[in-house]
Homo-oligomer: A and B are copies of this chain.
Amino acid sequence: MWNICLVGFGNVAQGLARILADKRERLAAKYGFGFRITSVVTARRGCLANDQGLDPAMLLEAMERDGGFWGCEGARMIDPLEAIKSPHTDILVETTPTSLVRGEPGLTHIRTALKAKKHVVTSNKGPLVRAMSELTALAEGSGVAFRYEGVIMSGTPALNLVRETLAGCDIQHVQGIVNGTTNFILTEMEKGKTYEEALAEAQRIGIAEADPTADVEGWDAAVKACIMAVLFMDATLELEDVERTGITEVSPEMIQTALSRGKRIKLVAEVYREKDRVKALVAPVAVPLTRPLAGIMGAMNAITYTTDHLGDITIVGPGAGRIETGQALLSDLLAIHRAYGRGEHPSRSPF
């Protein structure tokens, strides 16, 4: 039975709560995974704690009401660091809003958890780009897991694919479409829209923000390139080291010219070795139509890993979404259960 502390309860944590509410029995039967949500801490919508476990369906209902958890019995202010260090916490699920500049407040939450020998699962990019090496070393020193599948393509297993299923291969080159908003805009522009029209459409349907800078200037993709460089190529890159060009200068004419030459313009995040250095860059690239990445349209994401033993391996899937990112957190929880769980056969059929 795993005791879970949720810090942050926005879309992503709600996606996880939805799955946990719907699949409690199935997760127990299929994986032997049992859980109790012993605390949930938010900055403005109240906090709850119960050593016997909070019902995830009840937490979701509370969020439908004004005031959130404040309307629930027992609601009170809880210091997130106290909840994290509590003996009733085994795993911290950290999903507070991301700050790429300082990584806070997630960084302090995660650091505190790892020092207190709590496992950590997160989808928060800020702490990773700011302190991945420090946090990885802390987890090693404490003998606990630090997992973050959701930071690249939500539940599409971009990281664990390499970490677990491609173990033994070395990654020589990574090329990915890791931002759905810009891929959607480029797809709409191919159909005849101008950049401005395509952006407006993306904003209308809710996949671009009112201020689209982080997406269209390539910052979001650069964060992911940076994380992949550190993870897959042992690089010591900072976010500022990523060469970055967005899509604001791409014109419908450039897209049509590329197509007439058998290529499609994609905003690509790329990581590779050049002599003794690891390079990470984000830029609009004309990808030959014969490559899997060229066929990825709309808000879909994909990454091609070039490996020594297998050549190119490509994974295609969604890159965002509430249930999708909830699935990322769940897959990390189940990985912790596999590695650290007791009292069950690791050989038990895992499908």
Contact = CB atoms under 8 A, between A and B. Distances in A.
Interface of A: 19, 23, 26-27, 31, 136, 139-140, 142-146, 149, 154-157, 160-170, 231-232, 234, 290, 292, 295-297, 309-318, 323-324, 326-327, 330-331, 333-335, 338-340, 345-351
Given A166-B331, A331-B166, A347 B145 contact: yes
A309 B327 contact: yes
A295 B163 CA distance: 27
Q: Which of A139, A296, A310, A324 has the most CB of B within 10 A?
A: A310
A25 to B, nearest CB: 13
Q: Name which of A27, A164, A335 has the most chain B CB atoms within 10 A of its CB.
A: A164
16 contacts: A140-B347, A145-B346, A155-B169, A155-B309, A155-B310, A156-B313, A157-B165, A157-B166, A163-B350, A164-B164, A292-B316, A309-B330, A310-B318, A310-B324, A314-B314, A314-B315
Contacts of A330: 167-168, 309
Q: Which of A311, A317, A323, A350 has the most CB of B within 10 A?
A: A317
A124 B310 CA distance: 19
Contacts of A290: 297
B168 A27 contact: yes
A161 B161 contact: yes
Nearest to A350: B163
A31 B140 contact: no
Given A145-B347, A351-B162, A317 B324 contact: no
A334 B256 CA distance: 47
A164 B142 CA distance: 24
B143 A347 contact: yes
B164 A335 contact: yes
A156 B310 contact: yes
A347 B144 contact: yes
A160 to B, nearest CB: 4
A350 B155 contact: no
Nearest to A137: B349
Top-3 shortest CB links A-B: A157-B165, A309-B327, A314-B316
Contacts of A169: 155, 327, 331
Given A167-B330, A313-B316, 18 more contacts: A26-B170, A31-B167, A143-B345, A149-B165, A155-B310, A156-B313, A157-B161, A157-B313, A160-B165, A163-B351, A164-B350, A166-B331, A167-B334, A167-B350, A231-B351, A311-B318, A312-B316, A339-B346
A160 B164 contact: yes
Nearest to A26: B170
B340 A346 contact: yes
